[in-house]
Amino acid sequence: MIRWMLILLALALPAAGQEQIVAGMSQNRVSITADFDGSEILIYGAVKRDAPPPEGGPLEVIVTVEGPATPVAVRRKGRVAGIWVNNASVLVDSAPSFYAVATTGPLNHILSDTDNLRYGITIERVIRAIGISGEADKAGEFILALLRVRTNEGRYRILEGKVELTEDTLFRSDVVLPANLTEGEYKVRLFLLRDKRVIASQERVIGVRKEGLERFIFNLAQEQPLIYGLLSLVLAALAGWGASAAFRLIRV
Amino acid sequence: MQLYLPIAEVSVNAFLILGLGGIVGFLSGMFGVGGGFLITPLLFFIGVPPAVAVATGANQVVASSISGVLAQLKRKGVDFTMGTVLLVGGVIGSAIGVWVFALMTRLGQIDLFVQLSYVLFLGLIGALMFQESLRSLLKSRKAGGAPVRRAHVHSWVHGLPFKMKFRASGLYISVIPPALIGVAVGFLSAIMGVGGGFILVPAMIYLLGMPTKVVIGTSLFQIIFVTSFTTVMHAVNSQTVDMMLALLLILGGVIGAQIGTRVGVRLKAEQLRILLSLLVLTVSIRIAVDLLVTPDELYSVAPGVLP
C-alpha cells in the first residue's frame, strides 16, 4: 500500500508542478522609433513552492526569446567560370529572425536531448527544415551556415551562465535586442529544470512595433505604395529645388 | 546619431549617410553626373539590402538631377524634343528593368546581376573615357590649345528612317537611335539604381553627334523622368524605397553638389574627364575584385517565400 502511494506520488510530482514559475519582464513592448538602437529587456522571476525543494539535482533555469519566424533561403556561392556565383540553395520552412537562449549553466549539462526535442529549446530545434535533404547535397551544411551567419549578425545568441539564480528561488536575466530588429511578437519562454528535465515552464510575449514616424512611413509604403512612391518624388524634387535656391541666396 | 531606417530595417549612423551623400554630391557636382553609380555600391558596403539601395539610389538621383537641370535651363542647355524621345525609350527600358530585377530577386541572382552590370558598364565606359580624355589632354598639351572638333560626324546613324528635327541640338536624324539609347539607359537605371548619365552623355556626343552644350542638360532632363518612373515602379512592385534614407542622402548630396560645382569650374575639361574616368574605373575594379576573390562566407541568408 505504502509502496503504491509512493509510486503514485512520484508520478504525480512533475505533473502537479510542485515548483512553479512566477515571472515578470521589465517591459512587454518595444517601440522602434527613429532613434532606436537596440533595447535591453530584463526578464526576472521566482520559483513558487508549496513544499520544501525536492531532493535531486540543483535547480536550473533557461530563458529563451524568439522573434517572428519566416521562411528563409540559404544560398551557397560556388566558382563558375572564374567568378563567385550563388549556385546552390536550400529553402528553410521557418527560422526565427531572432533567438536568444540564456541559461544558468552549460546547456549540455542542464538539458537532456529528449527534453530539448520536446520543448524545442536550442536554436537547432526551433528551425523547421523539413525535407531539405532532397534540395541539395549536404543540406545539413546549409543549416549550419544559417546558424553561423545569423550568429555573426547577432541574431542568434547562446548566453550560457547569463541567468543569475539566487537561493534557488530568484532568477534574472538581461537579454539585449539588437538594432536590426524585425517587427512582430517576440515569444519569451522560461523553463525550470532539475536533473536535465524540464519541471515547469511559462510563456510571455513582447510586442515589438515600429512607432511614430517609422510606423507611418512603413505603413504608407506597404498600404499605399503608389502614393508613397509619388511622395518620395515630391520630397526629392523639393529638396533638389530648395538646395539650389538656398545656395543662390547665399551667393547673392 | 543612430537612425533606424523604416524600410531597410537597419540602424545606421545618420552623419555617415549625410557624409556619404555629401561626398557623392561633391563629385557629381564637379563632374556633372548624377552619382547613382557611387551611391548604390556605397550603400551595399554599409549594410543596406541591395534591393533597398538600388531603389533609394534612384530616388536620390531624382533630387540631384532636378537641382542640376534648373541650372542648365538658365543656360538654355536642354533639348526638350531630344529629351522627350529619349524619355519614351527610357520609360520602356525602365519597365523592362524593374521586371528583370524582380525576376532576378526571385532567382537569388540579383546581387550577381547588379555586380556584373556595374563591372561591365562602368569598366567599359571608364576605359573609353580614360583613353579619349588622355588623348585629348596630350593633344592639347602639344598644340597648346583645345582640339578643334567638327559640329558632328556623319555616320550610319544618319541613314535610318523616321527622321526628325532637333532644333536645339541642330540635328536632323532618325528617332530610332535616341529611342534605343533611351531604352538601354532606362533598363540600367532600374537594374543599377543609377541615372545613366555616364552612358547617356558619351552616347549623345559620340553616337548622336549632339553639341556638348546641350548634352548635360538634356541628359539630366531625361534622367529626372526615368529615375522618377523607376522610383515609383520599385515602390509599387517591391516596397523598397526608403524615404528616410533618401532624405538623408539628398540633404548631404545637394550641399555637396553645390560645393562640387564651384570646384569643378576651376578645373580644365580634360582634367575633369580623366579624374571622372579614373573614379568610374576604380568603382568597377573594386566590384570586380569582390566577384573574383574567394569570399569569407560562402553562404548567404535571405528571407524567402515558400513556393
What is the per-residue pLDDT across A34-78, written as a single tens digit (0 to 9) for each? Answer: 778 788 889 998 888 887 777 777 888 999 999 898 888 888 888
B284 CB within 8 Å of a chain A CB: no
Q: Are B4 and A231 within 8 A, CB to CB? A: no
For the segment(s) A13-209, the CATH number from 3.40.309.10, 3.40.50.300, 3.40.50.1980, 2.60.40.10 is 2.60.40.10
Residue of B nearest to A36 (CA): B4
For the residues of B223-238, what is the DSSP string, one character each? HHHHHHHHHHHHHHHH
Domain ranges of chain A: 13-209, 211-252
Compute the average pLDDT of residues A14-33: 77
Nearest CA in chain A to B295: A84
CA-CA distance, B223 to B205, in Å (whole number)?
A: 16
pLDDT at residue B135 is higher than 70? yes
Alpha-carbon distances of A46 from A172, A249, B257, B276, rounded to whole Å = 9, 67, 61, 66
Cα of A189 to nearest chain B Cα, Å? 24
Closest B-chain CA to A151: B301
pLDDT at B171 over 80: no
Measured in whole angstroms, the distance separating CA A227 from the mean position of its chain's CA atoms is 34
Residue B138 CA: distances (Å) to CA of A240, B126, B144, B174, B269: 37, 18, 10, 35, 13
Across the interface, whether the CB atoms of A35 and B1 are under 8 A apart is answered: yes
CA quadruple B22, B24, B30, B36: dihedral positive or negative? negative
Choose among A82, A182, A233: nearest Cβ to B232.
A233
Q: Tell me the chain A residues in contact with residue B7 when contact means C-beta distances shorter than 8 Å.
A: 217-218, 221
The pLDDT value recorded for residue B157 is 60
Please say if the pLDDT value at position B111 is more than 50.
yes
Question: By the 8 A CB rule, do A48 and A20 touch?
Answer: yes
CA distance A65 to B256: 44
Which triple of cell numbers denotes residue B10? Answer: 537597419
Give the C-alpha separation, B92 to B86, whole Å: 10
Half-sphere exposure of A237 (CA within 13 A, CB side): 13
Cross-chain Cβ contact A217/B244 below 8 Å: yes
Q: How many CB pairs under 8 A join A and B?
A: 184
With contacts defined as CB-CB under 8 Å, which chain A residues touch B10? 179-180
Q: Of A23-37, A58-72, A198-212, where does mean pLDDT reach its minimum?
A: A23-37
Residue A229, chain B, CB below 8 Å: the answer is yes
Q: Does B296 touch chain A (CB under 8 A)?
A: no
Q: What average pLDDT score do residues A7-19 get?
A: 54
pLDDT in tens, A213-236: 888 888 888 888 888 889 888 988
Asked whether the predicted pLDDT for residue A15 surpasses 50, the reply is no
Look at residue B306 and tell me whether its pLDDT is greater than 60: no
Q: Is the minimum CB–CB distance between B263 and chain A shorter than 8 Å?
A: no
Using a CB–CB cutoff of 8 Å, tell me whether A227 touches chain B. no
pLDDT at A252: 53
Strand residue runs (E) in B242-286: none
Percent of the residues in chain B that have a pLDDT greater than 90, as a whole number = 1
Say if residue B271's pLDDT is above 80: no
Residue window 203-262, chain B: list those with CB within 8 Å of chain A.
228, 231-236, 239, 241, 243-244, 246-247, 250-251, 254-255, 257-258
DSSP annotation of A50 = S
Q: For A74, which of B291, B299, B305 is closest by C-beta distance? A: B299
Mean pLDDT of chain B: 79
Residues B234-247: tens digit of each pLDDT: 888 878 888 889 98
Chain A nearest C-alpha distance from B304 (Å): 4
Mean residue pLDDT of chain A comes to: 82
Q: Is B289 on the interface with A (CB under 8 A)?
A: no
Q: Are B56 and B49 in contact, with CB atoms under 8 Å apart?
A: no
**Cβ contacts (< 8 Å) between B105 and chain A: which residues?**
none
Hey, are the CB atoms on A235 and B246 less than 8 Å from each other? yes
Task: Note whether A221 contacts B241, CB cutoff 8 Å.
Answer: yes
Average pLDDT over every residue of A150-162: 87
The tens digit of pLDDT for each residue in B137-153 reads: 787 776 654 444 554 55
Average pLDDT, integer, range B281-295: 84
For residues A97-116, one letter each, b for 16 or more C-beta atoms within 10 angstroms of the residue's C-beta and e for the rest, the string is bbbbbbbbbeeeebbeeebb
Of A34, A85, A240, the CB nearest to B4: A34
Over the stretch B38-83, which tens digit does the pLDDT of each residue have? 888 888 778 788 778 888 888 888 888 887 777 777 777 778 888 8
Is the pLDDT at A209 greater than 80, yes or no? Answer: yes
Q: CB-based contact (8 Å) between B112 and chain A? A: yes
Q: Which residue has the cell 527544415?
A: A129
